[in-house]
Structure 1
Amino acid sequence: MTSAPGDVPAIEFRDVVKRFGDNVVLDGLNFSVAQGDRVTLIGPSGSGKTTILRLLMTLEESNGGLILIDGDPYTHEYKGKKWVEIPEKRRRQVRRRVGMVFQQFNLFPNMTVLENIIEAPMHVLGRSRKDAIARAEELLEQVGMTEKRDFRTTELSGGQQQRVAIARALAMDPEILLLDEVTSALDPEIVADVLEVLRDIAKNTDITMLLVTHEMQFAREVSNRVLMFDHGRIIEEAPPEEIFTDPREERTREFLSAVVSN
């Protein structure tokens, strides 16, 4: 699903710059993601893909440019002739629209599966325990983890922990879901289970998804647009069938050839 012409993008980067010391990771980046889009970022390590997700989670601050969520400035806005930081309260309100699933599962080891999922909805969204549990149980069924409801997360396999992490992100009812190499820490035999959960989400919800992955077949199946990054810039963007079958840029062909051969 994509937005109709004139609709406000779910995500928009305008001339965004991110530096780590002298290293320019994002160099005047411009791109947008329409509401309901499933966009995959591909490219070599260090090309800026994960940095984009971390900026959207406010885990990193940009050095310039503007990031908008549903048309609302996310961290800074331009007033008069200077950049002004968005007040923290307003930033948190916008931030609630975004959820993320990380490479490492980042679950609370001292809590059960259920407690991990209900913690944020209760304390951040102000939901009652009863409502938070009801939503958590729906999500545990969706990700195939109902029987592990009362297990400690340390008792779970990596694949099971990642499915709980997906449920935890969805429990906040985000409009946008960010996925950062969510299978990279998993054993190969359980990658398929996690990808199937994400395929189900893509098929049966209208959530906007921005993915970083090296699972090219998965990207081909769930994306409606793929962006190829190199040195902090988008060098090619196209529908998945086009970019995976007949990429325009030689750098894209080299990257895809290396990924597939590995």
Structure 2
Amino acid sequence: MSADRHTPNTAPAATAEATELIRFEGVSKRFDGHTVLDALDISVYTGRHVTLIGPSGSGKTTILRLLMTLLKPDEGTIKLGGRYLTHEEKGGKLVPASDRYSREVRKNIGMVFQQFNLFPNMKVLRNITEAPVHVLGLDADAAEERARELLELVGLTAHLDKYPSQLSGGQQQRVAIARALAMRPQVLLLDEVTSALDPELVAGVLDLLRDIAHSMDITMLCVTHEMSFARDVSDCVMMFDAGRVVEFGPPERIFTAPEHERTREFLSAVL
């Protein structure tokens, strides 16, 4: 698939029941006159694990921030599960969405950030139960049961009564992963989740994410510079440059026989 085919989607060809979960249509984003995303058209289908690669500044993290409504597009629309995310329909017209509407649609998205973003004044268990109780309206006991299951998944059951400051960076990132999963999201966004970790802690977090990718029925959209991780967990890899997808396809082809010169240049620099 070459750069000329500028509408990538990640639907498996033989899986008719797969549905479009995320849709960017003509999405552009600029900062101080600089175009970060340029009329982007992409689709991500349910159950797909999609990894975005490319040089810094190519627009990858901006996609995740738009999905979290931390940013709004300058042009174009974004849909999640068939519903507009940053727009809503009123009187037969599309208008900018209210904060309340966007929050409701965004409940289906979980995100793990580079810098953990845990609540420093809350112990581990409450960090995980806070959003399910106050955003989803989950019963406190049910939220705690879910949190304990997730802490077991991420290997931190013994640390549930500690504050984030008492944990290592790798442990904090594991809590952040559990917190995102506690919302039972349809899609999990991962933004360079190992970039703030000491090198010896990276492998453990990546192994955990591999286990989640292979064992849980969840759509994943990941930005990473860890090419071996991208190769292991992805159904589709999208190569970004200057706010556009220059190439996309299954990881075995992207990493062994890329078609676009820009992809070859990038991979030769990072592999």
TM-superposed CA distance for 1:90, in Å, is: 2.6
Residue 70 of structure 1, aligned match among 81, 88, 97: 81
Partner of 2:56: 45
Contact 1:100 1:177 in 2 (8 A): yes
Name the TM-score, length of structure 2 as normaliser. Answer: 0.92
- Cα-to-partner distance string for 1:5-45 (whole Å, 9 max, x where unaligned): 37531111000010112101001000000000000000000
Q: Are 1:90 and 2:101 an aligned pair?
A: yes
Contact 1:180 1:213 in 2 (8 A): yes
Partner of 1:193: 204
Contact 1:2 1:36 in 2 (8 A): no
Partner of 2:191: 180
Q: CA separation in 2, counterparts of 1:125 and 1:172?
A: 8
TM-superposed CA distance for 1:80, in Å, is: 7.8
Mark the runs of 5 or more structure 2 residues left unpaired by the alignment. Answer: 1-9
Change beyond 3 A, Cα 1:102–1:201: same
Moved more, 87-96 or 44-53: 87-96
Partner of 1:223: 234
Change beyond 3 A, Cα 1:26–1:82: farther
Q: Are 1:131 and 2:139 an aligned pair?
A: no
Residue 59 of structure 1, aligned match among 54, 70, 82: 70
Q: How many pairs does the alignment contain?
A: 260
Aligned-CA RMSD value: 1.6
Q: CA separation in 2, counterparts of 1:80 and 1:162?
A: 44
Contact 1:8 1:71 in 2 (8 A): no
Amino acid at match of 1:235: V
Q: Are 1:29 and 2:57 an aligned pair?
A: no
Q: CA separation in 2, counterparts of 1:72 and 1:57?
A: 14
Report percent identity of matched pairs.
62
- What does residue range 246-257 of structure 1 map to in structure 2 within 5 Å? 246-257=257-268
Name the TM-score, length of structure 1 as normaliser. Answer: 0.95
Partner of 1:144: 155
Change beyond 3 A, Cα 1:139–1:15: same
Q: CA separation in 2, counterparts of 1:2 and 1:17?
A: 23
Partner of 2:247: 236
Q: CA separation in 1, counterparts of 2:11 and 2:213?
A: 13
Amino acid at match of 1:128: D
TM-superposed CA distance for 1:88, in Å, is: 3.1
Amino acid at match of 1:120: A
Residue 119 of structure 1, aligned match among 124, 127, 130: 130
Contact 2:11 2:18 in 1 (8 A): no
- Cα-to-partner distance string for 1:183-227 (whole Å, 9 max, x where unaligned): 011111111110111111111111000000001001000000000
SS class of match (1:26): strand
Amino acid at match of 2:210: R
Change beyond 3 A, Cα 1:6–1:78: farther
Q: CA separation in 1, counterparts of 2:216 and 2:141?
A: 24
Q: CA separation in 1, counterparts of 2:96 and 2:76?
A: 12
SS class of match (1:14): strand
